[in-house]
């Protein structure tokens, strides 16, 4: 321990050296072992000599950051303005007085503004990623064989078409959907099983509040059918308390596709669909009847039904 | 007088000379038909007709059911076993029809399939298996009307899916609206089963891509036929 006397002497010598234009390091070398703390305490209030104030790489940014901080900006905003790291900003401005706390509303506004900015940039990125994943999966499907179209069409019908139920004993092909792609695929399916387009009748079912004529036009183009194949559009009553969201310009209502004289086709579809769903029941062994009836791999549309006239094969 | 002797209009006309029906009817108003011409009466004819219709349908229904079954089984037989690719195609289309889809107003990429048809449910499980989803990622939940028996339905779906009923999530109970005229009030009603797949946004994108690929496909040129 130094005595008080010694300490005072040391301080005075340090100040003298400082005034003589020495840097802290040089003073330390002259005075011998002395703690940083002691030395800095001694030199407090003494301006550093000009030559030790060498420029730093971001002095201009630093000055600007301090200026912005004095205007009351927070770290994040300074970062956004200057494009430096938040930790640098912190080092540069932490000695300045903290700006007034912002009101909660303003805080919320800023947050939402930031969210908006984030999503404005992020949304297209994600959409592109989704679209890419989608397109990649779609690409691995490629063209379908007739058999594959048959399978997919029968399943689609089983999901969306009118079915024969215990309380509705009707065998008739009626398919309703709002998805234009699914409708055009169903038409492709009908082409594949050999139904001429002239055998089809269409009906648009749409909410009365929608733009009916343009929806009619839309489906006319979409199906490529003649206007006289469309029955009178069925209008659904508008429920004022509705919470339905499907009301954008993309809403074209539902299209019903009816196939005339389709009793037999209905029965076939039912058979195909049940065969498809039944594959889950006998997981690995192919059903005995299938191989017995149709040996070989080529199981495409060689129909053996009682009336093959409608169908190709 | 001629009427009372049991003569028909035609016979009366032969005796009385040319005469219009209207005139003759006017003259004969109030005279009852002779009993052998009166027929079996309204109620009796209705009974006979319905009896005839019943007899007709007793044989006809069975005949038609056989004809119907012949066509469906022939079609089913013609299908045969499906390849892996065909299962993917069929499953993707089934999902596109019945599964939950991401909408412009509700961005949600989560594989969730709801259906009341046990065979379709089983097929969808098969499809998920084919798409590489392990069974631990599946969550089941029954949707059912409050008027039906939820516990029995859970057991039913448990046996369909081969999953113990304890692993099912709490069923979703739908309020019964007495106004609806749902004809499904039969004993076959087991509600709907919802299958959710955990961590499925990647799978969702694949499925939607496959479905779009199928729906926008072209027929493969003649070679596949």
pLDDT one-digit tens code per residue, B11-51? 777 777 777 778 877 877 777 776 666 777 888 899 999 99
Q: How confident is the model at residue A290 (pLDDT cuts 50, 70, 90)?
A: very low
**pLDDT above 90: residue A59:** no
Picking from B106, B202, B215 by the largest number of A CB atoms within 10 A of its own CB, the best residue to mutate is B215
Strand order in the sheet with B192-197: B112-115, B192-197, B138-145, B168-174
Strand, helix or coil for residue A165: strand
The answer to whether the CB atoms of A159 and B94 lie below 8 A apart is yes
| Crossing angle of helices A75-82 and A86-93, rounded to 10° | 120
Per-residue confidence (pLDDT) for residue B11, from 0 to 100 = 78
**pLDDT above 90: residue A269:** yes
Cross-chain CB nearest to A155 (options B78, B90, B219): B90
pLDDT digits (tens, 9 = 90+) for B107-164: 888 999 999 999 999 999 999 999 999 999 999 999 998 888 889 999 999 999 988 9
Distance from the Cα of residue A84 to its chain's centroid: 30
**pLDDT above 70: residue A283:** no
pLDDT, average across residues A189-211? 93
Per-residue confidence (pLDDT) for residue A49, from 0 to 100 = 80
Cross-chain CB nearest to B119 (options A133, A278, A303): A278
Mean pLDDT, all residues of chain B: 85
Rounded to the nearest angstrom, the minimum Cα separation between A192 and chain B is 8
pLDDT digits (tens, 9 = 90+) for A15-48: 888 888 888 888 888 888 888 888 888 888 888 8
Strand order in the sheet with A200-207: A174-177, A254-259, A200-207, A234-236
Q: How confident is the model at residue A294 (pLDDT cuts 50, 70, 90)?
A: very low
Q: How many whole angstroms separate alpha carbon B12 and alpha carbon B6?
A: 10
Q: How confident is the model at residue A103 (pLDDT cuts 50, 70, 90)?
A: confident
Provide, as residue numbers in chain B, all residues whose Cβ is less than 8 Å from the Cβ of A305.
Answer: 71, 74-75
Rounded to the nearest angstrom, the minimum Cα separation between A110 and chain B is 25
Provide, as residue numbers in chain A, all residues whose Cβ is less than 8 Å from the Cβ of B119.
Answer: 274, 277-278, 280-281
Cross-chain CB nearest to B80 (options A136, A286, A306): A286
Provide, as residue numbers in chain B, all residues whose Cβ is less than 8 Å from the Cβ of A290.
Answer: 77, 79-81
Query: pTM value?
Result: 0.69
Q: How confident is the model at residue B185 (pLDDT cuts 50, 70, 90)?
A: low
How many residue contacts between A and B have a Cβ separation below 8 Å?
A: 218
pLDDT, average across residues B155-174? 90
The CA–CA distances, whole Å, from B80 to A146, A147, A191, A291, B21 equal: 14, 11, 22, 7, 70
Q: How confident is the model at residue A306 (pLDDT cuts 50, 70, 90)?
A: very low
pLDDT, average across residues A280-307? 42
Residues contacting residue A264 through CB under 8 Å, at least 6 positions apart: A305, A307, A310, B71
The answer to whether the CB atoms of A147 and B109 lie below 8 A apart is no
Q: Which residue has the higher pLDDT, A247 or B153?
A: B153
Provide, as residue numbers in chain A, all residues whose Cβ is less than 8 Å from the Cβ of B160.
Answer: none
Picking from B78, B130, B208 by the largest number of A CB atoms within 10 A of its own CB, the best residue to mutate is B78
Provide, as residue numbers in chain B, all residues whose Cβ is less than 8 Å from the Cβ of A142.
Answer: 213, 217
Per-residue confidence (pLDDT) for residue B89, from 0 to 100 = 93
Q: How confident is the model at residue A4 (pLDDT cuts 50, 70, 90)?
A: confident
The CA–CA distances, whole Å, from A241 to A205, A237, A238, A249, B179 equal: 20, 12, 9, 20, 18
Share of chain A above pLDDT 70, in %: 89
Q: How many whole angstroms separate alpha carbon A5 and alpha carbon B202?
A: 77
Q: Of A51-65, A126-140, A205-219, B80-94, which range is least confident?
A: A51-65
Provide, as residue numbers in chain B, all residues whose Cβ is less than 8 Å from the Cβ of A171.
Answer: 68
The answer to whether the CB atoms of A181 and B216 lie below 8 A apart is yes
Rounded to the nearest angstrom, the minimum Cα separation between B179 and chain A is 17
Share of chain B above pLDDT 90, in %: 44
The secondary structure element, H or E, covering residue A67 is: helix A59-70
DSSP A69-104: HHTT--HHHHHHHH---HHHHHHHHTTSPPPPPPPH
Residue in chain A lying closest to B108 (CA):
A130
The answer to whether the CB atoms of B208 and A277 lie below 8 A apart is no
Per-residue confidence (pLDDT) for residue A22, from 0 to 100 = 85
Cross-chain CB nearest to B219 (options A188, A269, A290): A188
pLDDT digits (tens, 9 = 90+) for A135-165: 999 998 888 899 999 999 999 999 999 998 8
The answer to whether the CB atoms of A293 and B78 lie below 8 A apart is yes
pLDDT, average across residues A111-120? 94
Share of chain A above pLDDT 90, in %: 47
Per-residue confidence (pLDDT) for residue B213, from 0 to 100 = 92
Rounded to the nearest angstrom, the minimum Cα separation between A138 and chain B is 4
The answer to whether the CB atoms of B217 and A304 lie below 8 A apart is no
pLDDT, average across residues A162-175? 88
Provide, as residue numbers in chain B, all residues whose Cβ is less than 8 Å from the Cβ of A159.
Answer: 93-94, 97-98, 120
Per-residue confidence (pLDDT) for residue A289, from 0 to 100 = 37
Q: How confident is the model at residue B182 (pLDDT cuts 50, 70, 90)?
A: low
pLDDT digits (tens, 9 = 90+) for A83-94: 999 999 999 998
């Amino acid at each position: 321990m130094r005595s008080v006397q010694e300490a005072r002497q040391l301080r005075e010598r340090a100040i003298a050296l400082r005034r003589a234009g020495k840097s802290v390091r040089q003073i330390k070398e002259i005075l011998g072992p002395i703690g940083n703390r002691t030395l800095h305490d001694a030199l407090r209030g003494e301006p550093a000599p000009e030559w030790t104030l060498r420029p730093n790489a971001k002095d201009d940014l630093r000055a600007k950051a301090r200026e912005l901080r004095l205007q009351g900006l927070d770290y994040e905003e300074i970062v956004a303005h200057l494009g430096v790291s938040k930790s640098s900003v912190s080092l540069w401005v932490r000695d300045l007085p903290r700006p007034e706390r912002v009101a909660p509303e303003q805080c919320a506004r800023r947050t939402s503004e930031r969210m908006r900015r984030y999503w404005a940039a992020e949304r297209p990125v994600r959409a592109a990623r989704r679209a890419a994943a989608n397109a990649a999966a779609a690409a691995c499907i490629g063209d379908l064989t007739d058999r594959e179209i048959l399978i997919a069409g029968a399943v689609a019908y089983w999901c969306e078409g009118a079915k024969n139920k215990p309380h509705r004993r009707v065998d008739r092909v009626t398919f309703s959907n709002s998805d234009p792609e699914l409708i055009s695929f169903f038409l492709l399916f009908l082409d594949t099983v050999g139904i001429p387009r002239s055998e089809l009748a269409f009906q648009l079912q749409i909410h009365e509040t929608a733009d009916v004529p343009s929806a009619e036009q839309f489906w006319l183009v979409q199906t490529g059918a003649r206007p006289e194949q469309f029955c009178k559009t069925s209008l659904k009553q508008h429920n004022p308390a509705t919470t339905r969201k499907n009301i954008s310009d993309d809403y074209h209502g539902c299209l019903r596709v009816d196939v005339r004289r389709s009793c037999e086709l209905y029965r076939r579809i039912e058979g195909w669909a049940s065969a498809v769903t039944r594959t889950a029941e006998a997981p690995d062994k192919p059903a005995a009847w299938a191989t017995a009836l149709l040996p070989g791999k080529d199981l495409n549309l060689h129909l053996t039904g009682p009336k093959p006239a409608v169908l190709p094969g | 007088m001629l009427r009372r002797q049991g003569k028909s209009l035609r016979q009366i006309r032969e005796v009385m000379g040319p005469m219009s029906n209207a005139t003759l009817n006017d003259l004969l108003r109030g005279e009852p038909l002779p009993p052998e011409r009166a027929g079996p009466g309204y109620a009796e004819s209705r009974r006979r007709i319905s009896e005839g219709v019943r007899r007709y349908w007793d044989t006809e229904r069975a005949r038609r059911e056989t004809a119907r079954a012949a066509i469906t089984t022939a079609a089913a037989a013609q299908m045969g076993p499906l390849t892996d690719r065909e299962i993917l195609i069929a499953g993707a289309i089934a999902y596109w029809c019945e599964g939950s889809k991401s909408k412009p107003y509700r961005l949600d990429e989560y594989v969730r399939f709801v259906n009341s048809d046990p065979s379709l449910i089983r097929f969808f499980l098969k499809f998920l298996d084919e798409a590489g989803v392990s069974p631990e990622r599946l969550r089941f939940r029954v949707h059912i009307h409050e008027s039906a028996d939820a516990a029995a339905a859970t057991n039913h779906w448990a046996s369909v899916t081969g999953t113990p009923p304890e692993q099912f999530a709490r069923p979703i109970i739908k309020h019964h609206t007495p106004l609806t005229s749902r004809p499904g009030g039969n004993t076959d009603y087991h509600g709907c089963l919802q299958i959710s797949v955990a961590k499925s946004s990647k799978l969702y994108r694949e499925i939607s891509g496959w479905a779009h690929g199928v729906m926008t496909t072209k027929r493969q040129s003649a070679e596949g036929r």
